[in-house]
Amino acid sequence: MIPEYLLRALLASVMISVLLGLLSPLINMKGLAFLTHATFHSLLFGAVLGMIFGLIIENLGIVVWVALMVTIAVVTLIAWLENRGFTSDTAVGIISSFVAGATVLSFGILYKIMATRPYFAFSQSIVSYLTGEVFLITVNDLLMLVLGGALIFFIMAFFYRDFLYVSFDPAGVESYGGNVRAYLMLLYVIVGSIGALIVKTVGLITLQVIAVLPGAIALMLSDDLRRIIGISIFLTLGVEVASVVLAYYTNIPPSGIATIFLGIVYGILVLKR
């Protein structure tokens, strides 16, 4: 008999795999690895800010929503700077500096508020954003992941071809009347939304690796777009499910196991070249 918490973890891993497996090739083709680094770290700022507000109003259920809103605001601001003529790296660097400072400041405020309230075990929630807690996912968390993930999946699938055109030939898209800035903004928002949706289950420390490496590996194995997407999704699914099963027997965080698996596969492919 499969324990209920393990079944929830496996179901969550399937949704995570579909989202990241579909997104990862876009991240690699568009060169968004640096953006994902900044985006995912803004999730920590949003989570800490949500914890502060949650403690003040005594409703910790707002943490995910605050993290989502902060992340979307950050990626939108990055896209706006790019539209103003800044390069992607420059825009990310500017915003990241403010996010890093705000995160440190927010931690100081959070600890002061925690010192005045009996929330001594609350620090575990902060750790969960760093390492992930897929085995602790509740039915409500899983429902939110499935519904939110399904919405993002259909939006991403609908605009996927447009995102590819923007990645390879933005000038061509504009010549046919396409709005490259709008597509870029939407893609950035999707990256941030997926990160906010799955960060508690995957963990901030390993999220970027799991978001980038499947697509990078798929691009090394094939030049055909459909095969690239298929490899990315099934590789992510295999690694996520295997890591959850191994973590069940070894008590090692599954996100760490998944990262090591992907690193080994990527390393082997690089050495074979």
Average pLDDT, integer, range 86-105: 82
User: Max CA-CA distance within the chain?
Assistant: 60
Tell me the HSE value of 52 on the side-chain side, using a 13 A CA sphere. Answer: 18
Q: What pLDDT does 42 receive?
A: 84
Structural domains in the chain, sorted by start:
4-205 (1.10.3470.10)
Q: What pLDDT does 150 receive?
A: 92
Asked if pLDDT for residue 119 goes beyond 90, the answer is no
Q: pLDDT higher for 267 or 47?
A: 267
- Taking only the tens place, the pLDDT of each residue in 136-193 is 788 888 888 899 999 999 999 898 888 888 777 777 767 766 777 788 888 888 888 8
Q: What pLDDT does 111 receive?
A: 78
AA identity, residue 249: Y
- Structure tokens given for 58: 């005594």
Asked if pLDDT for residue 5 goes beyond 90, the answer is no
Banded model confidence at residue 217, pLDDT cuts 50, 70, 90: very high
